[in-house]
């Protein structure tokens, strides 16, 4: 049940590429978080694409947008869902999804993936605090079903 916030330079992604990229990032989350590939479970994966105006992306104080297209993705999820291997896979597949969303792009495509892992009891969902157990129950993480609440 990740919340994926992607910061992108304005004008780089059109409506079709945003839709395709959002779907691909959900695919990445489903694989890396071991979420069952079911519509109801996929619907718990939220992707928000936020665009920054030209000139707001600098490197060392310089606008390098003529040479590089840079993205920053923050993946917020319950602590304990991903291990080091699955975080690395998420970053790898996420970067590939960005590259695939920009066919023909001649500038270098750069990405940063930041994993924001929320401690138990620090995530409020619909008026209740959730921990890994509740997330495992809702999302169906295959590797964490021993924690899931019986329904």
- Residues pairing with 113 in the sheet: 73
Residues of the chain with pLDDT under 50: none
Whole-number pLDDT of residue 56: 84
Residues 81-117 have pLDDT tens digits of 999 999 999 999 999 999 999 999 999 999 999 999 9
* Residue 63: domain span: 3-147
Whole-number pLDDT of residue 63: 86
Three-class SS string for 48-74?
Answer: EEEEECCCCCCECCECCCCCEEEEEEE
Cα torsion through 53, 55, 59, 63, rounded to 10: 140
Whole-number pLDDT of residue 151: 60
CATH number at residue 26: 3.30.429.10
User: How many domains does one find in the chain?
Assistant: 1
Q: Taking all residues of the chain, what is their mean pLDDT, rounded to a whole number?
A: 95
As a whole number of angstroms, the distance between CA 20 and CA 98 comes to: 10
């Amino acid at each position: 049940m990740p919340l994926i916030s992607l910061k992108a330079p304005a004008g780089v992604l059109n409506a079709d590429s945003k839709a395709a990229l959002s779907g691909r990032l959900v695919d990445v989350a489903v694989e890396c978080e071991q979420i069952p590939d079911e519509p109801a479970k996929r619907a718990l994966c939220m992707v928000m694409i936020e665009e920054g105006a030209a000139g707001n992306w600098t490197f060392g104080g310089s606008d390098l947008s003529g040479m590089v297209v840079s993205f920053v993705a923050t993946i917020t999820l319950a602590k304990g869902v991903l291990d080091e291997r699955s975080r690395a896979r998420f970053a790898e597949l996420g970067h590939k999804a960005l590259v695939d969303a920009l066919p023909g792009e001649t500038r270098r495509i750069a990405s940063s993936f930041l994993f924001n892992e929320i401690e138990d009891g620090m995530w409020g969902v619909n008026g209740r605090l959730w921990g890994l157990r509740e997330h495992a129950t809702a999302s169906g993480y295959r590797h964490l079903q021993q924690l899931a609440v019986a329904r």
